[in-house]
Structure 1
Amino acid sequence: MKLLRKALPLFVLMLSLNGIAFATEYKLTGRDVQNLPEWPVTISAYGGKLLLSDSPEMVPGDGITYQDTVSGDFRIFFHHVNDTKEPKKIVVLLENPGDYPANITVLRYGLGGPSSDYLRVGKDAQLQYLQNNNLYLVEVAGHDSKLLDFNLGQMIVEPGMLVNGIYDIQSDQPVTVKVMMLPVAEDFASFADKARILPADEHRLRGTFDGKDRLVIGNKAYTSKAGPVAVTLADPQLNHYVSGIDATDGSDVLNYGNYGIVYKLFLPTVHNDKIAYYLNPRGGVYAGGIGVKYRHQYESVLETPAGQLYFGENKITDFEHLGTFAGGQSVWLTFSPPGASNLPVKVVVGPE
């Protein structure tokens, strides 16, 4: 996949200060970074349902990893490794149980893999999803079925390889979503009719969750006089992991890491300041992307980190510079926990 990265005007986005320079200038030791003041924010859930299929993550045999019947606005996030000794296919099948055609719009999506480089798969899926240039339509006739993505049906997933997908969907009719692993030569619809639902692994990262998005808004305007501050994302104490229901057995589940949740972050800032934004991984090795939108005009999708696959082994100096912007202007960041990466992360904000 080729990463498209729009160039912003120099007065909008200045990338001269790297993460190590930032950490050195402010003498941020590991303890200091961890204990930067948290800027007060309000976090609100919105949007439709999230269908998460990440358990069993290491799929030991053919079957359905997750299924539920939904309509309207929803997101599918699946993350599975072929843990057998034979090539397989990992697909998402949409079944229409009704009499009328289901008109399905895929608003945006990201697909990574198949590959045994798990960090690369998660990063590729997220970068493609954030680029937001991949809308398409699927129509499923009444009492019929169709693959969510034709490309998935063509992929051969060798043993040990991971596939990660993120799909934002609108459907005008209820559809049954089935995430499946199956033999390469098997017919998708026939397999779905007879396939068993695989038991979840010990992490139980699957289910249907209300509120697939999070709006994160600063409670007051940031000023450079406050010095470096942080907003921590995908952390159970500050963000709360979303709870839901495993539709395959009715049990209560928790989305550890909030995988598949998309955060929209906006911090009001004071005029006449120049404010720098950074991403600092706190949980360990991390590889993803982040969307930046400035003044409702300029959009960019940034690799986190840029120039290398991952970072996070050194929590003291590993900062990715997201941009430096004039204060008092609209700056929106779009973040979602990438598959195969460690969490949480901190968005660090400070004077230029």
Structure 2
Amino acid sequence: MLKLMRQVGVALAVTVAVSVVAAPQQTLAKSGFPENSNLSRLNELPVTMNEQGGKLLLSDSPEMVPADGITYQDTVTGDARLFFHHVNATKEPKKIVVLLVNDAATPTDVVVKQYGLGGPGLDYLAIGKAAQMNYLSQANVGLIAVPAKGTALLEPVLNETVVAPDELVNGIYDIETKEPVKVVVMMLPVKEDPAEFVVNATVLPTDSQRLRGTFAGMDRYIVPSQVYNSVNDGVMAITLADHKRDTFVSGIDATDGSQTLNYGNYGVMYKVFLPTAFEQNYAVYLNPRGGEYAGGMKIKYRHQEESVIGTPADKLFFGSKTINDVAHLGNYAGGQSLWLTFSPPGASNLPVKIILAPVEKK
């Protein structure tokens, strides 16, 4: 199991406001989940996996940023996603920003399709959850003009946000550009101009986790290869982000050309489709397998009913004391379209299981 534990402290300072529909958390008995189920030995629903979409840029190393400098940078064209997750590990206030650099002689535009931002703050689990919930709830499209031979900020608010020592900032941004644009994540002094700072900034060394790089296929589609029938199949699971059934994506660290592995698939957006038998109702749960977990889930039911719920919805995190914790994601009618969208949240532990179970008859 992947264990990437972070500190938990006080609440968030800056987040993007969202409106979500929360499903009530339920005990196993109330939800109809079989309490005697051994969640470690559930039968796996066979699935096919397909990676799609543009490049994923991951900037999470050094996670604890020890000095001013560039944490990651690479040039992208087309669709891309940036996931950055950094803590100010100095003893001075800093800011953590993302700069878009256009080296061409003509201006270009960068479209921001979707985004989520959490922090800065000391409650690392809360920040990872906020970034994911915000991302899943956003539907707005923004446009950033990057001048010829010039720069622009991906998120201007970060240039005005002070990150105190030991505070974390976590962001997820989907962008599109028709022309090459360099994406630069960096930490710098509070009063420094990012456009001036980047000219002489150096790339910081990675930490032991080496969680940075550029990876092909920022979206992973998960589709069972058989229809789930709650009456015949009983309780079944789909295990994600365990590096066995669901492997971690490999890529290249563009700062030095070395090969890298995204332990945890942070920044990868999972889109899970669940084909089910007609007239056989069922329930869906999320079960964390590696420890403390705090995230969100977007649910699209019957092609048009959408909601975003916290996992868990009634508290910040779960999974710290037992591997049998579950978040109830709802009961559904068999034979109807159901999509689940989520991504491994920053500061949380993996893997996770999506569990399908018969609905208890009343």
TM range (shorter): over 0.9
Task: Tell me whether 1:153 sits opposite 2:162 in the alignment.
Answer: no
List structure 1 segments (4+ residues) > 6 angstroms apart after TM superposition.
none
How far apart are the structure 2 equivalents of 1:180 and 1:23? Answer: 48
Deviation at 1:216, TM superposition (A): 0.2
Partner of 2:19: 4
Task: Tell me whether 1:69 sits opposite 2:75 in the alignment.
Answer: yes
How far apart are the structure 1 equivalents of 2:29 and 2:343? Answer: 24
Kept after mapping to 1: 8 A contact 2:104/2:148: yes
Matched residue SS, 1:130? helix
Partner of 1:265: 272
State the one-letter code of the partner of 2:221.
L
Alignment size in residue pairs? 343
State the one-letter code of the partner of 1:319.
V
Deviation at 1:315, TM superposition (A): 3.1
How far apart are the structure 2 equivalents of 1:19 and 1:102? Answer: 53
Kept after mapping to 1: 8 A contact 2:282/2:332: yes
Kept after mapping to 2: 8 A contact 1:101/1:173: no
State the one-letter code of the partner of 2:208.
E
Deviations along 1:28-87, one digit per CA (max 9) or x if unpaired, are 2xxx20110110000110000000000000000000000011110000000000000000
Deviation at 1:16, TM superposition (A): 8.2
Matched residue SS, 1:309? coil
TM-score (ref. length: structure 1): 0.95
**Aligned pairs for 1:115-194 within 5 A:** 115-194=121-200
Partner of 1:27: 36
Q: Relative to 1, partners in 2 of residues 1:17 and 1:186: Cα closer, same or farther, differing over 3 Å?
A: closer
Deviation at 1:193, TM superposition (A): 0.4
Deviation at 1:166, TM superposition (A): 0.2
How far apart are the structure 2 equivalents of 1:210 and 1:136? Answer: 24
Q: Relative to 1, partners in 2 of residues 1:156 and 1:17: Cα closer, same or farther, differing over 3 Å?
A: closer
Task: Tell me whether 1:38 sits opposite 2:44 in the alignment.
Answer: yes
How far apart are the structure 2 equivalents of 1:56 and 1:19? Answer: 40
Q: Relative to 1, partners in 2 of residues 1:20 and 1:88: Cα closer, same or farther, differing over 3 Å?
A: farther
Kept after mapping to 1: 8 A contact 2:290/2:323: no
Deviations along 1:100-153, one digit per CA (max 9) or x if unpaired, are 211111000000000000000000000000002332110101100011011111
State the one-letter code of the partner of 1:25.
P
Matched residue SS, 1:122? helix
Deviation at 1:318, TM superposition (A): 1.1
Partner of 2:351: 344
Deviation at 1:25, TM superposition (A): 2.9
Kept after mapping to 1: 8 A contact 2:29/2:35: no
How far apart are the structure 1 equivalents of 2:97 and 2:270? Answer: 26
How far apart are the structure 2 equivalents of 1:175 and 1:291? Answer: 30
Deviation at 1:19, TM superposition (A): 3.8
Task: Tell me whether 1:92 sits opposite 2:89 in the alignment.
Answer: no
How far apart are the structure 1 equivalents of 2:351 and 2:114? Answer: 25
Matched residue SS, 2:300? strand
Kept after mapping to 1: 8 A contact 2:289/2:323: no
How far apart are the structure 1 equivalents of 2:126 and 2:44? Answer: 31
* Root mean square deviation of aligned Cα: 1.5
Kept after mapping to 2: 8 A contact 1:6/1:301: yes
How far apart are the structure 1 equivalents of 2:265 and 2:347? Answer: 13
Task: Tell me whether 1:311 sits opposite 2:326 in the alignment.
Answer: no
State the percentage of identical aligned residues.
56
Q: Relative to 1, partners in 2 of residues 1:16 and 1:183: Cα closer, same or farther, differing over 3 Å?
A: closer
State the one-letter code of the partner of 1:152.
L
Kept after mapping to 2: 8 A contact 1:290/1:302: yes
Deviation at 1:3, TM superposition (A): 4.2
How far apart are the structure 1 equivalents of 2:186 and 2:26? Answer: 46
Deviation at 1:316, TM superposition (A): 4.4
State the one-letter code of the partner of 1:99.
A
How far apart are the structure 2 equivalents of 1:77 and 1:259? Answer: 7
Query: Any unmatched runs of 5+ in structure 2?
Result: 1-15
Q: Relative to 1, partners in 2 of residues 1:163 and 1:19: Cα closer, same or farther, differing over 3 Å?
A: farther
Q: Relative to 1, partners in 2 of residues 1:157 and 1:17: Cα closer, same or farther, differing over 3 Å?
A: closer
How far apart are the structure 1 equivalents of 2:175 and 2:47? Answer: 29
